[in-house]
Amino acid sequence: MFIEWGEIFSVSNGTLDAQHKQIVKRMNDLLSVLSSKSREQTIKKSIVRLRSVLEIHFRYEEALMKYSSFPEYENHRQMHRTLLIRTAELFDKYEDKTVSISEIIVFIKEWWLRHIINDDREYIECIAELEL
């Protein structure tokens, strides 16, 4: 059920890899509280932490892509917006009891991890050895 960090997630940039590790940690934290049927307040705190880490990471990643003139910058930036909107919608539906915990878990594991493994690979060459 939980996500284990592996080289498959690496984008060959120390700062981004550290941020991706933090995202995976926050995802695991959320998966843990969701699956243990924790109190609503604990779940909300975990959701807020994950959203915060994601927003900070996206701003940093987008700055690197823009600075390095990554040709797909706008498309990638839009993916981030879509991911954040979809995540917010799911969490709102969770609060309204119109989405199940398993649907959130599937979304986190499939959508977010696919983004890190596939979409983030596209900018690796463009930002090689670039740290801001």
- Give the number of other CB atoms < 10 A from CB of residue 21: 13
Residue in this structure with the two tokens 């243990």, named with its chain if needed: 36
pTM for the model stands at: 0.85
pLDDT tens-place string over residues 46-86: 888 988 999 999 999 999 999 999 999 999 999 999 988 98
Mean pLDDT of 33-40: 79
Task: Indicate whether 131 pLDDT > 70.
Answer: no
Residue in this structure with the two tokens 């498959």, named with its chain if needed: 8
Show the domains of the chain with their CATH numbers: 14-127 (1.20.120.50)
- The pLDDT-based confidence of 97 (bands split at 50, 70, 90) is confident
